[in-house]
């Protein structure tokens, strides 16, 4: 049954634009969800130490969670189109918190794969598409900026939570740390989700930048491509391949940069801070490139991001000192923040809002495949060679492929520029 929202009388002048409340709620959800999820790299070494698993085996649980995240993103995108984000995000917050809580009890590899790979992966199904699709419906003007602000929450979470998790592990142990993270996720996400609304028509408003109240209620539901129409376009599959390269590079680094730093003789605390630097500069990239995308186009922010990532990865390959890893993390964080801010607005530009959640969910599965394959393959390469250098070169090659793919992306006939 479709959730019922309180309708504001059409003639009433709103005291404030409710879209900003949606932005704030989505921002806090992003801080908690992605900060806790991206702390996996900090838990990596303690898990290896306690259980003696290989890096490929440990990375495999993360890869499984990414696959579940991608598959469920398709489902959650469709459910958001139909029922709205409040119910979807409440459900996802429950599963994500539960997965972290259960991680405190693992004693075997199958439990790692079930609790983190499956249950946490189910919860992560709502961590991107429902929020991005909802913001696209609330804003026409400033869509890139508002998307960037929300995704800055991802960066802030990545800046704060990994170092805090590292401190908790050192003082309380990794099991207690997972209990604390799980409790925080469960409470914050479920509470913040109650403030989300699917689109402005639910409160008698229109999207920011839309001047014609009477026309938009119809347009919101009918303009743009259906999912079936979108997947028959060349643009969809070009975008899908771009997101594969994006996901492969981002999560290979997010999972393995801290272990790589420790292998170089850098302390666990410094390794956690390097991971946090990616999150911190991601905030800047979200806001700066998200704002720039409103002027130069989302395609160009992707091109800029891929160029920066390729250069940073080639810089990282021979690196042995902490300051070089910090510099890499700063450039990498800035670039991937810009990518993240441009993804949902680019879908809206290419295919409209009619089935935005569904199209974004299916397209984002390209990211999922890359994000699942990358960490596992990097772990396998390390187990085989004793080094991450080959994996880093593969990431650099995919970044260059991303530049080419993005350069080939062109507008669809029925929608605007990219």
Q: Look at residue 186 and tell me if it is in a domain.
A: yes
Residue 155 domain-assigned (yes or no) = yes
199 CB-near residues (< 8 Å, 6+ apart): 134, 137, 138, 207, 220
- Asked whether residue 5 is assigned to any structural domain, the reply reads no
Quote the tokens at residue 156.
């802030």
Domain residues for the domain of 26 are 19-205+217-408
DSSP 157-175: HHHHHHHHHHHHHHHH-HH
pLDDT digits 0-9 by tens, 220-234: 444 688 888 999 999
Q: What is the mean pLDDT of each run of 10 residues along the chain (418 residues)?
A: 40 69 94 90 87 87 87 85 90 95 94 95 89 86 79 82 91 94 95 92 80 47 77 93 93 89 90 86 79 80 91 90 92 83 82 82 87 89 91 95 92 64
Provide the pLDDT for residue 414: 60
In this structure, is residue 14 part of a structural domain? no
B/e letters for 271-300, b = 16+ CB within 10 Å, e = fewer, are bbbbbbbbbbbbbbbbbbbbbbbbeebbbb
Residue 417 inside a domain? The answer is no
- Could you report the per-residue pLDDT of 328-344, keeping only the tens digit for each? 999 998 888 777 777 87
- Residue 46 phi, psi (nearest 5): -60, -35
In a domain, 337, yes or no: yes
Q: In the prediction, which pLDDT does 227 show?
A: 87
pLDDT of residue 286: 74
Give the whole-angstrom CA distance, residue 220 versus residue 354: 7
* Structural tokens at position 307: 């160029």
Residue 340 lies in a domain: yes
From residue 338, how far is each of 4, 123, 173, 180 by CA, in Å? Answer: 35, 25, 35, 31
Number of domains in the chain: 1
* Cα gap 21→389, rounded to integer Å: 45
Give Cβ neighbours of residue 321 (< 8 Å, ≥ 6 apart): none
Q: For residue 6, with 0-12 CB atoms within 10 Å meaning exposed, 13-18 middle and 19 or more buried, which class applies?
A: exposed
- Quick one: pLDDT at residue 215? 46
What CATH code is carried by the domain that includes residue 393?
Answer: 1.20.1250.20
Is residue 9 one of the residues assigned to a domain?
Answer: no
pLDDT at residue number 155 = 77
């Amino acid at each position: 049954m479709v959730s019922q929202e309180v309708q504001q009388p059409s003639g009433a002048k709103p005291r404030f634009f409710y879209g900003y409340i949606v932005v704030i709620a989505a921002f806090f959800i992003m801080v908690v969800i992605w900060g806790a999820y991206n702390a996996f790299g900090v838990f990596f070494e303690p898990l290896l130490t306690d259980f003696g698993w290989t890096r490929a085996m440990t990375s495999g649980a993360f890869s499984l969670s990414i696959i579940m995240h991608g598959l469920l993103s398709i489902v959650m995108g469709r459910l958001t189109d139909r029922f709205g984000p409040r119910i979807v995000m409440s459900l996802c917050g429950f599963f994500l918190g539960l997965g972290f809580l259960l991680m405190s009890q693992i004693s075997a590899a199958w439990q790692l794969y079930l609790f983190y790979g499956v249950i946490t992966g189910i919860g992560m199904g709502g961590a991107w598409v429902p929020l991005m699709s909802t913001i696209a419906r609330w804003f026409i003007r400033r869509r890139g900026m508002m998307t960037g602000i929300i995704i800055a929450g991802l960066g802030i979470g990545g800046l704060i939570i990994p170092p805090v998790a590292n401190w908790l592990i050192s003082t309380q142990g990794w099991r207690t740390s997972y209990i604390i993270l799980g409790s925080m996720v469960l409470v914050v996400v479920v509470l913040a989700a109650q403030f989300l609304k699917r689109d402005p028509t639910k409160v008698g408003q229109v999207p920011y930048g839309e001047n014609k109240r009477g026309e938009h209620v119809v347009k919101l539901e009918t303009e743009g491509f259906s999912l079936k129409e979108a997947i028959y376009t060349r643009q969809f599959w070009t975008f899908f391949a771009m997101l594969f390269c994006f996901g492969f590079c981002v999560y290979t680094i997010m999972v393995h940069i801290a272990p790589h730093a420790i292998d170089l003789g850098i302390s666990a605390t410094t390794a956690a801070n390097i991971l946090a630097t990616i999150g911190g500069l991601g905030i800047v990239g979200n806001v700066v490139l998200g704002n720039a995308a409103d002027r130069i186009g989302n395609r160009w922010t992707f091109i800029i991001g891929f160029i920066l990532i390729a250069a940073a990865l080639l810089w990282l390959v021979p690196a042995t000192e902490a300051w070089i890893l910090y510099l890499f993390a700063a450039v990498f964080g800035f670039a991937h923040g810009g990518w993240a801010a441009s993804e949902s607005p680019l879908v809206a530009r290419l295919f409209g809002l009619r089935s935005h959640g569904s199209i974004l969910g299916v397209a984002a599965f390209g990211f999922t495949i890359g994000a699942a394959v990358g960490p596992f393959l990097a772990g396998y390469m390390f187990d085989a060679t004793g080094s991450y250098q080959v994996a880093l070169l593969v990431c650099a090659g995919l970044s260059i492929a991303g530049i080419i793919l993005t350069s080939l992306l062109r507008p669809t006939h029925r929608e605007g520029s990219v």
